Structure 1
Amino acid sequence: MKVVSLWHATDDELNYIKKKLPSSTELVAPKGEYFSRFEASYSDLERHAVDADAFIGWTLPAGIPEIARKLKILSWFHSGVDDLAETGVLRLAKERGFKVTNIRGANAVAVAEQAMMFVLALAKQTVIKHQAMHDMRKFFPLFGDENRSAMLSGCTIGVVGVGNIGSRIAKRAKAFDMQVIGVRRNRDLPAEYVDSMHGLDELHSVLGKCDYVVLATPNTNETFRFFGKAELASMRPSAFLINIARGNLVEEKPLYEALTTGRLRGYAADVWPTYKFGRAFPVSYQSRLELHRLPNVLGSNDQSHNADGVLERYIEWGVENIVEFTAGRPLSREINLDLGY
């Protein structure tokens, strides 16, 4: 079996992968100097891809899947596969019958912790109060509405998308004595730490009960910009919205209006909208309305997974997918090509 690393793996990484796979496995990787693991080009991979049985890695240059006619499995080192859907790779997988797996759950703890950091930072006005301290400025009056912190204890948090990440957010919210309401496609699946579970058809009624709402759902055709004017109108004006999943889940213009008119108390996100030809113009990889500059908005730039141990877990779990495949075992992280996750 020929396995192609889609990145310029280091010698240590290649040795780790070789030890995990059967001794008969041929493992190849592009050579050269790169800045990151996301830069291998078509020319770097072409000669390796034509007879590859398996791909592992973070990026897949355009044209490579098409020439890999022997491909049996793609182990994608991301939790989300929306990029593979947009570029036609999932469609190609259905046509040719090769498997697609991901590493869902590998960064779940890191992302859940980032979500709770945002919840706390919004509630406690962390950035504003740090800046006030830096400027040696006192708030007056002491308990004024504009400078008083919100509480987590006794409040309700709604988690939209109770999967690997959402379930961990629920667990951490319970440590702050919060009431947890979950929203997911299949409301009948059990979820520890969730006080009540609801379907997507109940989303609006759930939103009206929440002091905090966290979006942790995959980006699919059904969820693309699903959170818009009607959903924001269903929220309490005193509530906070946190997006830890994908930037394009939320409609930007209604969100901007809600944040600047007092309709929504605050917003935090690790992810921001991407505008591409065919869906929007101009092409952009940031908020066109500069949401991130608003005083009641906090953000990080896709950094929630940038934490201790996550890179190692990506590689470990990504290789495990190939190990399961070569052993003929069920693929524990196989993507449902129809659902897109």
Structure 2
Amino acid sequence: MKVLCLWYATDDELRSLKAALPEGTEVVAPKGKYFSRFEASYSELAPHAVDADVFIGFALPKRILEIAKNLKFFCWVHSGCDDLEHIGALSHFRQHGIKVANIRGANAHAVAEQAMMFALALAKKTLFKHKVTLEGRRLFPLFDDEYRSAMLDGRTIGIIGVGSIGSRIAKHAKGFDMRVLGVRRNKDRPAEHVDSMHGPDELHSVLGQCDYVVLSMPDTNETTQMFGDLEFSSMKPTAFLINVSRSGLIQEQSLYDALTTGRLRGYAADVWNRYEFGRSFPTSFLPRLEVHKLPNVICSNDQAANADDVLERDLRWGTQSVVDFVCGKPITREVDLHLGY
């Protein structure tokens, strides 16, 4: 059995992977200089890919799957699989019977903390008040609507997508004595810290009750662009929206209109629209309407999972999936190739 790491794995990472696998398993990775440690080019990987049984990695070079005739298992060291869908990889895996796993949940703690940071920063007008202080200004009059902070205590938060991240957000929200409403595909599956669980058909009634809404669902054919005018009109104009999932869930024009007409109090996100050539025109890698520059928006750019412990957990969980496959065991985090997650 041959396992190919699709990134410039360190000696420690390779030793750890080899130690976990049965004796005799070949483990290889590209060597030499690199621009980004977590990706490698087709030319660097091709000599190993032609006879590899297993791929594990953070990035997938173009055309590499076409020559990987022996490939039987692919471990994607990310939580979401929508990027694999976009580049046609999931279709290839379905067509050739290749099993896939991800590391969903590995970054749940970090992303959930980012979501709560966003909720607090929006509520407390953190960036605005920091700027005012740096400028030496004093906000007056006290308790004016424009300057007064919002509260989390006693308010209602709606979590759209109650998986590993959403469940963790619910736990944190309870620490602020919030009422927690959840929306997910299987509403009958219990979730700790959620006061009331609802199905997708109840989304609009849930939105109307919330002071904070967090999107933490996967981007699939069913959910892409699902948040538009109707969803924003269902929300309270005093509500905040937070997206720590995927930018494709929200229609950008609808978001811009809601933020600039008073239909939405504020927005925070770690994910932003990427208009890629071949799927959109013109191309761009930030919102076309520059939503991220609006005064009632705060943002980071794919940084929620850039935190202590995350990389180590990513690799540990990815390694476990490879071990499961090589040893013929059930794969704990196997991806349903038809659902896309």
Which interval holds the TM-score relative to the shorter structure? over 0.9
Structure 1 unaligned regions, length at least 5: none
Task: Give the residue type in structure 2 aligned to 1:108.
Answer: A
Task: State the alpha-carbon separation in 2 of the partners of residues 204 and 136 from structure 1.
Answer: 43
User: Which position in structure 1 is the counterpart of 2:171?
Assistant: 171
Q: Give the structure 2 partner of residue 146 of structure 1.
A: 146
Structure 2 residue 341 is matched with structure 1 residue 337? no
Between the aligned partners of 2:64 and 2:189, the Cα distance in structure 1 is 38
| Secondary structure of the structure 2 residue equivalent to 1:159 | strand
SS of equivalent to 2:214: strand
- Per the alignment, residue 43 of structure 2 pairs with 43
* Residue number in structure 2 paired with 1:244: 244
Q: Deviations over 1:158-215 (max 9, x none)?
A: 0000001000000000000000000001111111100001111111111000000000
Question: Could you tell me how far apart the structure 2 residues matched to 1:83 and 1:280 are?
Answer: 15
- Deviation of 1:228 after TM superposition, in Å, equals 0.6
CA distance in 1, matches of 2:108, 2:241: 19
Q: Which amino acid aligns with 1:185?
A: R
Residue type of the partner of 1:35? F
Q: Is 1:97 aligned with 2:97?
A: yes
Q: CA separation in 2, counterparts of 1:38 and 1:247?
A: 23
| Residue-by-residue CA offset, 1:104-123 (whole Å, 9 max, x unaligned) | 01000000000000000000
Q: Which amino acid aligns with 1:252?
A: E
Q: Which amino acid is the alignment partner of residue 141 of structure 1?
A: P
- Which residue of 2 is the match for residue 114 of structure 1? 114
TM-score by length of 2: 0.98
- For residue 283 of structure 1, give the secondary structure of its aligned residue in structure 2: coil
CA contact under 8 A between 2:6 and 2:39: conserved in structure 1? no
> Which range moved further: 302-311 or 128-137?
128-137
CA contact (8 A) 1:37 1:58 kept: no
Cα distance in 2 for residues equivalent to 1:175 and 1:292 = 29
Task: Specify the code of the residue in structure 1 equivalent to 2:266.
Answer: G
1:136 shift after superposition: 1.5
Tell me which stretches of 4 or more aligned residues in structure 1 moved more than 4 Å. Answer: none
Distance in 2 between residues matched to 1:238 and 1:281, nearest whole Å = 34
Structure 1 CA distance for aligned equivalents of residues 26 and 38 of structure 2: 22
Shift of 1:29: 0.7
Residue correspondence of structure 1 range 46-195 to structure 2 within 5 A: 46-195=46-195
The whole-number CA distance in structure 1 between the counterparts of 2:11 and 2:273 is: 36
Question: Residue 315 of structure 2 aligns with which residue?
Answer: 315
**Mean Cα deviation higher: 71-80 or 274-283:** 274-283
Aligned residues: 341
The alignment partner of 1:56 has SS state of: strand
Matching residue of 2:225: 225
1:39 & 1:25 partners in 2: Cα distance? 23
Q: Deviations over 1:207-262 (max 9, x none)?
A: 00000000000011111111011100100000000000011111111111111111
Distance 2:37 2:275 in 1: 24
Between the aligned partners of 1:277 and 1:49, the Cα distance in structure 2 is 27
Residue 212 of structure 2 aligns with which residue?
212
Contact 1:75–1:102 (Cα < 8 Å) also in 2 = yes
CA distance in 2 between partners of 1:109 and 1:199 (Å): 24
Note the alpha carbon deviations across 1:16-41, whole angstroms, 9 max, x for none. 11111112110111112113234311
Query: Alignment identity in percent?
Result: 65
Instruction: Give unpaired runs (5+ residues) of structure 2.
Output: none
Amino acid at match of 2:324: E
Cα RMSD over matched residues? 0.9
Instruction: State the TM-score, normalizing by the size of structure 1.
Output: 0.98
Amino acid at match of 2:248: N
Matched letter for residue 252 of structure 2: E
- Aligned counterparts of 1:176 and 1:35: Cα–Cα separation in 2: 43
Query: 1:278: Cα distance to partner?
Result: 4.5
Distance in 2 between the 1:207 and 1:280 partners? 30
